[in-house]
């Protein structure tokens, strides 16, 4: 059975059943009520859902999914809708299933170094709950104040600490998930060692809401580092900053933070946040580490030394936590700062092997010039993950087509340099046209067969991964 779009509204009998499952106040159908769920944080994508349904338990999720499979109704799971890949836009209409009513932190265990949370808990709420017990939840996407833990799992979100600590997948120990056919499964769990069966926890991590609905997440925690410190170096060019990154790693340091901003980005952030950044620098490198006082002092000294050796014209260390936070703000506010420059901000997410960063940035700048678009780039220098960002006014002729053509070239360049079309933001609808280039036809066909095994009626987030 393939999902069908039911005219402009769902069958009244289906709506009645949904209202009986979650309560009438948790089913939205009017234009005004469903409009916010027609889009996510990705510009240029929009599709109206027929209904928005907000369950409170996994049993309710199971009943909704069973009904949807019986009726062939598309269901799009949604957390905060902060993804940047149009992954929650209900392309074929149907139900947007919002999980944010399920937001209990069920457990934070210092003995077992883990936490168990419902899907709608925000990343920051989980981090704060861990911190209150002297523990660290390491993944820290820039959207952590709003993004949900299940949304992070479903996108395998990264963040500013990816180089040293890895990404969300490195912390997911177990999941409770509801299959589109209504069965509730538990994958993994509290065990640090468990190799019974295929690793479905990993498969569901990054599955972008296309295989199952996640209703509980068990994550690994770490002891909270004693101190965390940050410094900043300004370079004449991004190539110089790239050499500093290579030097840091070859000096045996794997820092918690190694982020860069190019010149247009520095200026946009300075206009926005007034942090006192050097507007004339070609590139800014933010470096930081955490751990014991002695190890952090040593690694920051080594990183500062490498920056000086590779041509930094100024290197400054934050003197206290407040100054460190101000520097991290420069990186965290890059996207909102660029978004002020023009009505549309298209942020991309290519990744290349670390030694290729400077070459990739050169290629991005050449591509932007060729297509005559305004592009600024920032990103995670330590893990080769770049966020070229094109800003434009759609009233400006064919600029949107030029921006899209530029990004197609950026993805080709990333693949050519041994990289990928998305390092952390996921595929969604936005990157689906480029997926075959990255995976090849055989792997794409396998993805489709896996999708059918989980979701025989094809109701879960259709038009995305596995379609």
Ligand X SMILES: Cc1cc2nc3c(=O)[nH]c(=O)nc-3n(C[C@H](O)[C@H](O)[C@H](O)COP(=O)(O)OP(=O)(O)OC[C@H]3O[C@@H](n4cnc5c(N)ncnc54)[C@H](O)[C@@H]3O)c2cc1C
Tokens of 29: 């159908």
Angle between helices 321-332 and 263-273 (to 10 degrees): 120
The C-alpha angle 116, 118, 119, rounded to 5 degrees, equals 120
Interface with ligand X (CB under 6 A), residue from 151, 180, 255, 462: 151
Site for ligand X contains 143 (CB under 6 A):
yes
Alpha helices in 27-172 (DSSP H): 31-34, 58-71, 123-132, 149-155, 162-165
Dist. CA 388–CA 265, nearest whole Å = 10
- Establish if 214 lies at the interface with ligand X (CB under 6 A): yes
Compute CA distances 368 → 69, 153, 311, 376, whole Å: 45, 33, 26, 9
CA pair distance 142, 131, nearest whole angstrom: 18
Size of the site for ligand X (CB under 6 A): 36
Least Å distance, CB 304 to ligand X, is 25
Q: Which is nearer to ligand X, 371 or 382 (CB)?
A: 382
Min dist CB 366 to ligand X, Å, is 26
Residue 83 within binding range of ligand X, rule CB under 6 A: yes
> Of these, 55, 159, 188, 462, which contacts ligand X (CB under 6 A)?
159
Query: Which range binds ligand X by CB under 6 A, 3-11, 66-74, 104-112, 145-153?
Result: 145-153
Among 62, 80, 89, 406, binds ligand X (CB under 6 A): 80
Q: How far apart are CA 38 and CA 96, in angstroms?
A: 9
- Residue 461 interacting with ligand X (CB under 6 A): yes
Is residue 93 part of the contact set for ligand X (CB under 6 A)?
Answer: no
Q: What is the helix (H) or strand (E) element at residue 16, kind and residue range?
A: helix 12-22
C-alpha distances out from residue 211 to 198, 215, 282, 298, 401, Å: 15, 13, 44, 45, 32
Q: Does 350 bind ligand X (CB under 6 A)?
A: no
Locate tokens 């104040």: which residue? 145
Smallest gap from Cβ 395 to ligand X, in A, equals 24
Residue closer to ligand X by CB (options 326, 405) is 326
Q: Taking the complex as a whole, how short is the minimal distance between the CB of residue 314 and ligand X, in angstroms?
A: 26
174 near ligand X, judged by CB under 6 A: no
321: left (phi over 0), alpha (psi -120 to 50) or beta: alpha
Minimum CB–partner distance for residue 159 and ligand X (Å):
5
Residue 80 to residues 55, 256, 414, 426: CA-CA distances in angstroms? 15, 26, 29, 15
Min. distance of Cβ 228 from ligand X in angstroms?
A: 17
Answer for which of 71, 82, 218, 422 binds ligand X (CB under 6 A) is 82
Per CB under 6 A, 142 contacts ligand X: yes
Q: Shortest Cβ distance from residue 83 to ligand X (Å)?
A: 3
Distance, in Å, from the CA atom of 142 to the CA atom of 126, rounded to the nearest integer, reads 15
Query: Is the Cβ of residue 176 or residue 289 nearer to ligand X in the bound state?
Result: 176
Contact between 413 and ligand X by CB under 6 A: the answer reads: no
Q: Answer yes or no whether residue 127 interacts with ligand X by CB under 6 A.
A: no
- Residue 76 binds to ligand X (criterion: CB under 6 A): yes
Q: Smallest gap, in angstroms, from Cβ of residue 98 to ligand X? A: 8
Closer residue to ligand X in complex, CB, 307/411? 411
Show Cβ contacts of residue 37 under 8 Å, excluding neighbours closer than 6 positions: 28, 49, 52, 78, 81, 88, 90, 96, 98
Alpha carbon 420 to chain centroid, angstroms = 15
CB of 145 to ligand X, least distance (A): 9
CB of 303 to ligand X, least distance (A): 21
Least separation in angstroms between CB 268 and ligand X: 14
**Stretch of residues binding ligand X (CB under 6 A), selected from 4-12, 157-165, 271-279, 360-368:** 157-165
* Pairwise CA distance, residues 240 & 260, whole Å: 11
Q: Which is nearer to ligand X, 169 or 313 (CB)?
A: 169
Task: State in Å, rounded, how far the first CA of the chain is from the last one.
Answer: 14
User: For ligand X, which residue of 86, 256, 335, 375 counts as binding (CB under 6 A)?
Assistant: 335
- Cα 253 to Cα 229, 246, 276, 299, 320: the distances in Å are 14, 10, 28, 7, 22
CB under 6 A: which stretch of 205-213, 267-275, 284-292, 436-444 binds ligand X? 205-213
Residues forming the site for ligand X (CB under 6 A): 40-41, 76-84, 87-88, 99, 119, 141-143, 147-148, 150-152, 154-155, 157-159, 208-209, 213-214, 335, 424-425, 461
């Amino acid at each position: 059975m393939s999902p069908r779009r039911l005219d402009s509204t769902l069958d009244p009998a289906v709506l009645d059943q949904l209202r009986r499952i979650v309560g009438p106040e948790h089913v939205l159908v009017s234009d005004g009520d469903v409009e916010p769920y027609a889009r996510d944080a990705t510009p240029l994508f929009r599709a109206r859902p027929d209904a928005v349904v907000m369950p409170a338990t996994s049993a309710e999720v199971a009943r909704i999914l069973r009904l949807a499979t019986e009726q062939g109704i598309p269901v799009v799971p949604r957390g905060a809708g902060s993804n940047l890949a149009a992954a929650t836009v209900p392309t074929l209409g149907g139900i947007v299933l919002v999980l944010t009513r399920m937001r209990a932190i069920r457990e934070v265990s210092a003995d077992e170094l883990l936490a168990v949370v419902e899907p709608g808990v925000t990343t920051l709420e989980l981090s704060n709950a861990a911190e209150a017990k002297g523990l660290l939840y390491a993944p820290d996407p820039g959207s952590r104040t709003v993004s949900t833990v299940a949304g992070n799992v479903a996108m395998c979100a990264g963040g500013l600490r990816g180089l040293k600590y890895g990404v969300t997948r490195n912390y997911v120990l177990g999941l409770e998930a509801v299959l589109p056919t209504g069965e509730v499964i538990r994958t993994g769990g509290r065990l640090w060692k468990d190799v019974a069966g295929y690793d479905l926890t990993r498969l569901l991590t990054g599955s972008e809401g296309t295989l199952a609905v996640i209703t509980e997440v068990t994550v690994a925690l770490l002891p909270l580092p004693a101190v965390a410190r940050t410094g900043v170096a300004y370079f004449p060019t991004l190539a110089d900053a790239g050499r500093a990154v290579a030097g840091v790693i070859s000096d045996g340091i794997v820092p918690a933070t190694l982020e860069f901003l190019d010149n247009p980005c520095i200026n946009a952030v300075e206009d926005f946040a007034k942090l006192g950044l050097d507007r004339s620098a070609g590139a800014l490198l933010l470096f930081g580490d955490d751990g014991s006082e002695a190890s952090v002092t040593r690694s920051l000294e080594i990183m500062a030394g490498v920056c000086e050796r590779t041509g930094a014209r100024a290197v400054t260390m934050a003197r206290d936590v407040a100054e460190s936070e101000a520097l991290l703000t420069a990186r965290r506010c890059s996207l909102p700062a660029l978004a002020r420059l023009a009505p549309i901000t298209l942020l991309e997410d290519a990744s290349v092997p670390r030694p290729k960063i400077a070459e990739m940035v050169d290629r991005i700048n050449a591509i932007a010039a060729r297509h005559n678009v305004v592009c600024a780039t920032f990103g995670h220098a330590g893990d080769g993950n770049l966020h070229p960002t094109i800003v434009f006014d759609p009233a400006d002729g064919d600029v949107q087509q030029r921006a899209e053509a530029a990004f197609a070239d950026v993805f080709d360049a990333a693949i050519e340099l041994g990289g990928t079309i998305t390092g952390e933001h996921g595929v969604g609808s936005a990157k689906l046209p480029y997926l075959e280039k990255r995976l090849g036809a055989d792997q794409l066909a396998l993805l489709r067969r896996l999708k059918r095994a989980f979701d025989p009626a094809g109701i879960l987030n259709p038009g995305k991964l596995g379609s």
